[in-house]
Chains A and B, each alone.
Chain A
């Protein structure tokens, strides 16, 4: 069955430390891949997306993500975390099979940033 997995429910990092959030998918072909961020009490905001081409994607707020076909992964990274990055992060996947396909969101990873 097609699925997207975020194995870490909750992550705590120190301000200034590096961050990597994991996302794995299970689809027959490389899907379209997205990372969204949700701050408390707000809707989701797109950080970055991957459709094809360069496997290292740059996004907003200093985030980047790397697509690794061999690992079926699309991990989100940031070299130095700021306190304002505390939020919940969602990986999302859309099958790349033509026509309309439903977006599937992962269960989310809640990021806590400590001083």
Chain B
């Protein structure tokens, strides 16, 4: 298995632009998580999907952030418009039947908003 796949690995954009991050979870996993990691705030859960349905989006910072999971093999995290304070590493993770099983993390997308 290729593991969790994220694209792009690096993204540099200008303030105000739309940014879309993509994630392909491990086949057969039915839980998907989006995290944001910064030096100041550490690792934060943004949103959790189970069977493609958003279960917990309490960590989504504001309306500029949105996430979708149209099917079991694909999810997106969109920021529109982006701001410099959104600069961070964004991780996608997936896990099996129970959300407290091991979470498998992707390599992350490093986002820089100028």
A residues lining the B interface (CB < 8 Å): 32, 41-46, 49, 51, 90, 94, 100, 102-103, 105-108
Contacts and interface: CB of A to CB of B under 8 A. Distances in A.
A45 B100 contact: no
A100 B48 CA distance: 10
Contacts of A43: 4, 91, 93, 105-108
B48 A46 contact: no
A100 B56 contact: yes
B100 A32 contact: yes
Nearest to B42: A107
Contact of B45 (A46, A103, A108): A103
Nearest to A96: B100
Interface in B24-56: 33, 42-43, 45, 48, 50, 55-56
Interface residues of B, number: 21
9 contacts: A42-B107, A42-B108, A43-B91, A51-B100, A102-B45, A102-B58, A103-B33, A103-B100, A105-B43
A49 B102 contact: yes
Given A102-B59, A105-B42, 15 more contacts: A32-B100, A43-B93, A43-B105, A44-B43, A44-B91, A44-B93, A45-B105, A46-B102, A51-B100, A102-B45, A102-B58, A103-B33, A103-B45, A105-B43, A108-B43
Contact of A100 (B99, B102, B103, B108): B99
Instruction: For the complex of A and B, list the 7 residue pairs with the smallest distance between their C-beta atoms, beginning with the closest.
Output: A43-B105, A105-B43, A46-B102, A44-B105, A107-B42, A94-B100, A32-B100
B56 to A, nearest CB: 6
Contacts of B43: 44, 90, 105, 108
